[in-house]
Structure 1
Amino acid sequence: MITSRLTEVLAIDHPIMSAPMATVAGARLAEAVSRAGGFGLIGGGYGEREWLQEQLCQVDCSSIGVGFITWRLRQQPELLEMALDYGPKAILLSFGDMGDFAATIGASNCLLIAQVQSLADARVAAEAGADIIVAQGTEAGGHGAARATLPLVPAVVDAVGPIPVVAAGGIADGRGLAAALTLGAAGVLMGTRFYCSLESSAHDAAKNRIIAANGDDTIQSAVFDVLRGYDWPPPYKLRTLRNRLTERFDNKLDELRNAKQDQIERFEEGIAVGDYDVAAVIAGEALDLIDDTLSAGEIVTQTVAEAIVRLRHAPDFEISD
């Protein structure tokens, strides 16, 4: 077992969190991660109220968290109140100014987890009263910014201590957990690895694409945000697997906007039938480390076991005076 400030603050056994991936991280996945001793989060996504409420009704929320896209939540602030009514242990906010959300969460006796992509944002989150700060590197699947995980994590640790810092982006096994702990992080948040879990809501065809791909097959692009009509603010871009649409339109966004309706229809049809030559597979650079679909519990236990071995027996070098 590995204990840290993260396990103490969340009262969990293992310093592993699952990312609140929109539409993929539902109650089943969050509950499975928490049951295994980690901390699972439901993805609040883009404000699909009925879906979120359905997920919250399926689980004992006192053992899980809920994640929101901050700038989107500002358009539907009532969703935060609804989620808090179910008594989650924590709320994760990412991408945008938390503003008065921090006070609302704190007043509900709920932990605030702030995911940040820069040192400046980490300092703002600390001043806002974040209980846990996730430092997300550009290697992560989904939306992210430009900083890489390896230099960002220790910089955030130095800036916000003693607040526990969680590393995210490019982490999918025990080696990543061991590395994060060595950098001073109190744990890790993994998305793509849990995307390929039995409890994830992702389409099997999408999971198979991840298993077959490697990190070179990902791209940060605005193509799918344009198609979905999501006006993401800078500096955030969406990391996905490359496919026919990204290859055609990544450098031709104006052309995509002009042909938008036709492409939207193709995109939505691809989602419906699991055609990921046009639909998005949202995944990070840790693809190289994923070659199977496991239960969430197996992912947690295997990651911790491998990290313990790595930390106890660092391979291939010796230290001498």
Structure 2
Amino acid sequence: MALSTAFTKLFGVQHPIALAPMGGSAGGALAAAVSRGGGLGLLGSGNGDRDWLARELPIVAEGTEKPWGIGFLTWAIDVGAVERALEHNPRAVMLSFGDPSPFAERIRQAGVALIIQVTDLEEARRAVDLGADVIVAQGTESGGHGARHGRSTLPFVPVVVDLAAPVPVLAAGGIADGRGVAAVLALGAAGALIGTRFQATPEALVAPSTAKAIVEGHGQDTERSSVLDIARGSRWPSKYTARTLGHPVLDQWRGREAELSADPQAKQAYQDGVARGEIPPLPVWASEAIDLINDLPSAADLVATLAAQAEDALARAGRR
């Protein structure tokens, strides 16, 4: 029996599972596969790069007849990126990390569902005020970027659920199997937004070495930091840090972020190391839940597996 929630009813999807729109790695093939599997695939456009959108939007639009959407880094885009995405008739647009207000009304005018990700209660209240159709409550266990001073998923999600009601809330951060999906449903969430688990699928736009590192990694090996953003010259706002697996540059500069920011030679050394192949071009963004990831299934099959595991976990909990 499928799990029916306000989220599944809103989008007409089978399972309360959405793909986190991971910048660059959640391409058209992955988003389409998640949607075909009965979840909501969200394309990870990041900064709205025109060439990337031109390549990946047709792939997801032609790859599934099921609902799909697209996610943007709100601090990194302009309205043109949103307009280009809307031309392909997504069912939803998700805005994360920054002020969504410049884009919210245009998305609503297009008849497209507005999903806003929040990392603290101030952001959650703003999302409610802007009329978000769905709110994503992201805990600090999540892989990739999140709030520097955020809160863990378990206590954060029910607070946002209560604040946002009746707006459906998806939980994000540290969810990598069906037990995690079941747990956040028990907290009052209408579903789960899952990222790192879907990076370990053949449809993800990641290097084989990245997928291998996730499968072999452990949660205690992940760390939230701004060091790698500084070294890469990334413009991420200081409010947000990134959870990654270990990295030699992180070991070298941990706790010396201000010194690194002021050292152009260190940043150039990073770029030179990437050019020589001595340093991976991108960090391995990874959730604390990577201990639960030990295979590389197809994304569509993974959606069904997560949903079946969640149903089983809830049934077992009911019997107890």
So what's the TM-score if we normalise by structure 1?
0.93
3-state SS of 1:314 partner: helix
The residue that corresponds to 2:75 in the other structure is: 71
**What residue number does 1:101 align with?**
103
SS of the residue 1:43 aligns to: strand
CA distance in 1, matches of 2:245, 2:310: 28
Q: Does 1:261 align with 2:263?
A: no
C-alpha contact (below 8 Å) 2:232/2:270 kept by paired residues: no
User: Match of 1:309?
Assistant: 312
2:7 alignment counterpart: 6
SS of equivalent residue, structure 1 residue 234: coil
Distance 1:213 1:106, change over 3 A: same
Q: 2-side partners of 1:283 and 1:44: how far apart?
A: 18
Q: Which amino acid aligns with 1:246?
A: L
| Alpha-carbon distance in 1 for matches of 2:258, 2:241 | 17
**Aligned counterpart in structure 1 of residue 115 of structure 2, from 113, 116, 120:** 113
Residues 199 and 253 of structure 1, relative CA distance in 2, 3 Å threshold = same
Deviations 1:209-247 (A, max 9, x none): 111111101111112211332222232101111121111
Q: C-alpha distance in 2, partners of 1:64/1:231?
A: 28
Whether 1:288 and 2:291 are equivalent positions in the alignment is yes
| Inter-partner Cα distance in structure 1 for 2:259 and 2:272 | 16
Separation of aligned partners in 2, 1:85 and 1:179: 37
Q: 1:268 to 1:125 in 2, by over 3 A?
A: farther
What is aligned with 1:139? 141
- Mapped to 1, the partners of 2:258 and 2:236 lie a distance apart of 16
Q: Secondary structure at the match of 2:7?
A: helix
CA distance in 1, matches of 2:218, 2:187: 25
Partner residue, 2:235: 231
- Structure 1 stretch 163-172 or stretch 248-257: which is displaced more? 248-257
Asked if residue 34 in structure 1 is aligned to residue 38 in structure 2, the reply is no
Q: Identify the residue that residue 189 of structure 1 maps to in structure 2.
A: 193
Question: What residue identity is the alignment partner of 1:250?
Answer: R
SS of match in other structure, 1:225: helix
Gaps of 5+ in 1: none
- Distance between the aligned counterparts of 2:195 and 2:143, measured in 1? 7
Q: Distance in 1 between matches of 2:165 and 2:223?
A: 33
Deviation at 1:59, TM superposition (A): 2.6
Residue 254 to residue 267, structure 1, CA distance change in 2 (3 Å): farther
2:86 maps to which of 69, 77, 84 = 84
Structure 1 CA distance, aligned partners of 2:89 and 2:282?
35
Structure 1 partner of 2:153? 149
Question: 2:172 maps to what in 1?
Answer: 168
**What is the percent sequence identity of the aligned residues?**
45
1:59 and 1:211 mapped to 2: Cα distance? 26
Instruction: Specify the alignment match of 1:20 in structure 2.
Output: 21
CA–CA separation in structure 1 for the residues paired with 2:275 and 2:210: 15
Map of 2:212 onto structure 1: 208
Question: What secondary structure is seen at the aligned counterpart in 1 of 2:156?
Answer: helix
1:254, CA displacement in angstroms?
A: 4.1
Match of 1:300 among 286, 299, 303: 303
1:242-274 residue CA offsets vs partner (Å, 9 max, x unmatched): 12111111222344342111212213554xx8x
Q: CA deviation at 1:282?
A: 0.7
On the 8 A contact 1:268/1:279 being kept in 2, the answer is no
Q: In structure 2, how many angstroms separate the alpha carbons of the residues matched to 1:71 and 1:219? A: 23
- Unaligned 5+ segments in structure 2 are none
Cα deviation 1:300-319 (Å, max 9, x = unaligned): 1111111111111128x94x
Q: TM-score, normalised by structure 2?
A: 0.93
Which letter does structure 1 place at the counterpart of 2:153? T
- The corresponding residue for 2:58 is 57
Q: Give SS of 2:46's match.
A: coil
